[in-house]
Every structure is written in C-alpha cells, then in structure tokens.
Amino acid sequence: MTTGSILQGSIGIGLAIISAPILLMVEPVLVPGPLLLCAVCLTAIVAFREREFMDRSKIGWALVGRMPGTLVGLALLSAIPTQQTSVFLAGMLLFAVVLSGIGRAQWKPRPLSLTVAGCLSGIMGTTTSVGGPPMALLFVESSGSALRGTLSGFFFVGASVSSIGLALTGRLGWTELCWAASLLPAVVLGTQLSRYTARILARKGSRGAVLIASGTAATVALVRSCFGY
C-alpha cells in the first residue's frame, strides 16, 4: 500500500495497479471496499496539496462520462461475460499506450476526449478495478502538479461515489471500515513520501512514468481477465 500510494501521489495513478492484486491474494475482502476508502483518503490529500493546479472544468467534463460509464460497466457485468469485456478494454488501452509511447497519437484533454476517457474509466474501474489509465493518457504532456491535482480531484469524486454505492448495496460495512483503518497508516506514509518523489519527477518529467504505469495497468488487467485472477 505504501508503494502504491507513493506512485499515485507522484503521478496521479498507481494505488490500485500495485495494491489490488496483492490485497486479493492476502485477503479478498480488502478489494474493493477497503481499497476504495483508502483511495478516497489518498486522493483527498493529494487534491488538497495540488489544489492550485487542479483544472476543475476538465474534472467536470470527465465526470460527465464517469457516471454513465459506471452504469455501463455494471450492465456489461450482467449481460456479457466479464472476461470478454475486460480483455477487450484492456487490449484497447494497451494499444493506446503503445501509440502514445511511439508518438503516433497525441491525446489532448478536450471536452469530448475527457468525456470519453471518463466513460472508459468508469467501465474499466467497474469491470477490472483499474480505471486510472484512460484519464492519465490525456495528461501525459501536462505538468506533474496539474496531472496530480486534476486526476486526484476526478478520482476523489469517483471513489467516493463508488464507496457510497457499495455501502448502499451492503458490500461496505463495519468489517470493511476496520480493514480500511488498518491500511490507512501505510497510505498516509506513502502519500507523504510522494512529496519527494514528485519533485524528482518534476525535474525529469512525468510522461514516461505515466506511460509505464498505464501500460502496466493494462497488462495487469489483461492477465487478470485471461486467467481469472
């Protein structure tokens, strides 16, 4: 959790990429409820830290897509085998990462692209628990502070809504709250350490780190979907 928090506090994504597979092996009840609650706390801290660089209009456009994307993800889970949906989405994301990495595609955070990315984030977050990369790809050319601030604001709202949904459906109760409380010290430690790693990335640029993290997330989602892990 500390490593995932350092990564997310540095580039805006990373907590679920690193932590979800490990937590599932240790104790399945840790995902998604406790992990989501930790994400709410982490993104709140980072969003407050980078509030001066947060682009609220872009967050708004992304949230326009996030909400229906979440509903689409839930519908897909019911209508289509989860494996097929997840493999397709993860494969498309990996393709987008490759295009960005070799310079064949320039994804810009415009209203339409933000809405689409927000929708994809909602779908992937619901079906694979990894919803960060579609949004992160739009901000690979942004400054580190703008990247962290805007993504943290977006994910704070998204994780909060998802947590409320889990609570209303009986999947987030006292047990999950206790597990989340036990994980929070590691999350807070990682978030504080990310202040220093973020400065290092500010000097070297965050584009490569975002592409690597997004590619890793797509690969992890693809492997988990193919092998049912």
Query: The dihedral of CA 144, 147, 150, 154: what is its sign?
Result: negative
- Find all residues with CB under 8 Å of 127, minimum gap 6, and list them: 73, 76, 77, 82, 85, 86, 89
The tally of domains found in the chain comes to 1
Q: Taking the chain, what is the end-to-end CA distance rounded to the nearest angstrom?
A: 19
| Tens of each residue's pLDDT in the chain, 229 residues | 999 899 899 989 889 878 887 887 788 788 888 998 999 999 999 999 999 999 999 999 999 999 898 888 777 766 766 566 667 666 766 766 676 565 555 678 999 999 999 998 888 777 666 778 888 888 888 888 999 999 999 999 988 888 888 888 787 899 999 999 999 999 999 999 999 998 887 656 677 778 788 778 777 777 766 765 5
- Domain range for residue 67? 2-227
